[in-house]
Structure 1
Amino acid sequence: MAATGSGLTSFVVVAADSGPLLDDCIASVLGAADAFELVLVDNASTDGSIGRVLAAHGHDARLRLLRNPSNLGFGPACNRGAGFARGDVLVFLNPDCIAPTDLAARLRATLASAPDLGVLGVQVTDPAGVPARGNRRRDPTLRRALVTLSGLARFEPRWPALQGVEMPPATDEDVETVEAVSGACLVLPRAAFERVGGFDEGYFLHAEDLDLCRRVRDAGLRVAIDPRIRVAHAQGASSRSRPLFVARHKHRGLWRYFRKFDPAARNPLLRAIVFIGIWAHFALQAPLLVLRGLRRAAR
């Protein structure tokens, strides 16, 4: 692991055929003037995106490239990026996000004001500035997942017992303690990241952020969101070319999270029902996702 530097913020961006949006993401981070480095972890991209980034920014000493020989998955790549990084604050940023120029300074200010923070999230928005779903989340227990999938979560304001996984966007301007935050921009002091052992590499893509938030809380640290800090995210843009691949790993990740953390998984019957339900849901989605992918490829 690289020696860490106090006051240095390390942005870790994982790319896997992330397309032209990666150029904008890298340019937005390098547009800041704070003390930071940008670790770009490439999961064996073949779309030319890494070459374009190097052609535009290869001269910038703040940009450091780490190449993986194959697509290791998001969590494993983040762990390798964190080990390669030198900062005492780690910012895991999706490759289709645009960072404001003062992002590092504002993140560090919030972390400094609350030493018990283990994970800090931000108000992720779409490109038009509309807050995204999932900025504030609850643990995806079986009960909450069923409420969400059934559509009953929309009645939560009237009946609080009908809590789903996602919470409405933050409406105040204070740092708020939550169970989980969006993985599009996930911020941790290095000490907290190392305390929990980083991302669980049993996940390939999706749910590893929920898992990390859960383990940070279990370690006695706080997970919170600062809605005053905004990051624009072209949601799903980095995975539109491989919808079936992404959906498969999303379902796989949810199954792993359920087995690890949900007390309902201790019941063999419920465990079997959830397994069947998760993969039946994937099977129902698959034809539509394949058709959608073929339509995009034909454009």
Structure 2
Amino acid sequence: MDISIIIVNYRTYNLTKQAIDSIIDKEHPFNYEIYVVDNASNDGSFEKLQKDFSKEVTDSLIKFIASTENKGFAYANNIAINQTTAKYVLLLNSDTIIVDDCLEKCINFMESDKDIGALGCKVVLPDGNLDKACRRSFPDVDVSFYRMTGLSHLFPNSKRFGSYNLTYLDENKTYEVDSLVGAFMLVRHNTIKDIGLLDESFFMYGEDIDWCYRIKSSGWKIMYYSDAKIVHYKGGSNNSKKQKPKLIYEFYRAMDIFYNKHYKNKHSWITNSAVYLGIWSTYSLKLFLNLFKK
């Protein structure tokens, strides 16, 4: 098998169906399979998807896996990763659609350089703007400070201040980066054997950055490839600006986990204390402001 595509479903029937259709409606010059892992949706979406794609299941093109409880994005993806032997594994969000020959281009690019461990494509939002999360630097102390203080927003063309989302680089060029977004991450199977599965201590944020950190630390390249594209309906299943408190908490908890795992031992207790204070005070502020959103 050339590639296993993993899509995690959690109460996103329409979006998940759209993502699957964007793959199977195209002719591909490679062998592929799709794993749909349901994160205990309990809303009927999983059963409807199984019914819609019953033929593809019979043809072994799509494999449906139901998790008995929602243990997070990393956990769900790992269930499928543990079952596949394909040369490449693609993490694909349920709220995305594959554009044109994106998959073929990405596989060919990976084949051209055996040192590439993970590859991300150009991810655009429905309005055509770039989803900035698709190419990032690791959030070390300096990079995080520039982002949290707003300097990255004020000076996006600065190599120093715009380093987190690499806003100073041309989005239509291809280059090596630190980190990709889990909405679309193509990873070589040999790389996964080398560095291990996604860290399940992350619930739904941060696991992609952590994986990229481990991939790069093991000597593999991570590439942003602009010639291939997907559309990301970010937050497409939620028309409200108000976020669930749990999601806000998990976002900042992921920051805490990542820093504690990769940076804590590199800095003094004073720096560490300042970082943790910054993370959780910002969390408290976001939680408070969220109360007034509709």
The whole-number CA distance in structure 2 between the counterparts of 1:46 and 1:30 is 26
Provide the rounded CA distance (Å) in 2 between the counterparts of 1:214 and 1:259: 13
CA distance in 1, matches of 2:149, 2:244: 23
Gaps of 5+ in 1: none
2:41 maps to which residue? 45
Residue 271 of structure 2 corresponds to residue 275 of structure 1: no
1:269 aligned counterpart, secondary structure:
helix
Is the CA contact (8 Å cut-off) linking 1:23 and 1:49 kept in structure 2?
no
Specify which of 1, 4, 10 is matched with residue 10 of structure 1: 4
Q: Deviations over 1:203-250 (max 9, x none)?
A: 111111111111111111100011010000011235778632211111
Tell me what 1:244 maps to: 245
Paired letter, 2:167: P
Letter in 2 for 1:247: I
State the TM-score, normalizing by the size of structure 2: 0.90
Aligned counterparts, 1:71-110, within 5 A: 71-110=70-109
Could you say what secondary structure the match of 1:90 adopts?
Answer: strand
Which residue pairs with 1:31 in the alignment?
Answer: 25
The CA distance in 1 between the partners of 2:171 and 2:232, in whole Å, is: 21
Mapped partners of 2:154, 2:292: distance in 1 = 33
Which 10-residue stretch deviates more, 236-245 or 22-31?
A: 236-245
2:173 touches 2:225 (CA, 8 Å); kept in 1? Answer: yes
Q: Could you say which residue in structure 2 is the equivalent of 1:54?
A: 50
Residues matched between the structures, number:
287
Superposition pairs of residues 186-201 of structure 1, within 5 angstroms:
186-201=185-200
Deviations 1:12-65 (A, max 9, x none): 011122242112112112223322110001110123221221221122131101
Q: Does 1:115 align with 2:109?
A: no
RMSD: 2.2
How far did residue 265 of structure 1 move?
Answer: 5.8
In structure 2, runs of 5+ residues without a counterpart are: none
- Partner of 2:245, secondary structure, is helix
Deviation of 1:124 after TM superposition, in Å, equals 0.3
TM-score normalized with structure 1 length: 0.88
Q: 1:127 corresponds to which residue?
A: 126
- What do the CA deviations read for 1:101-132 (whole angstroms, capped 9, x no partner)? 52332221010111100010010001233211
CA contact (8 A) 1:137 1:165 kept: yes
Question: For 2:132, what is the secondary structure of its paired residue?
Answer: coil
Q: Answer whether contact 2:162 2:168 (CA < 8 A) is retained.
A: no
Over the matched positions of the two proteins, sequence identity in percent amounts to 22
The amino acid that maps onto 1:18 is: T
| Secondary structure, counterpart of 1:59 in structure 2 | helix
**Structure 2 Cα separation of the partners of residues 264 and 162 of structure 1:** 24
Kept after mapping to 2: 8 A contact 1:23/1:52: no
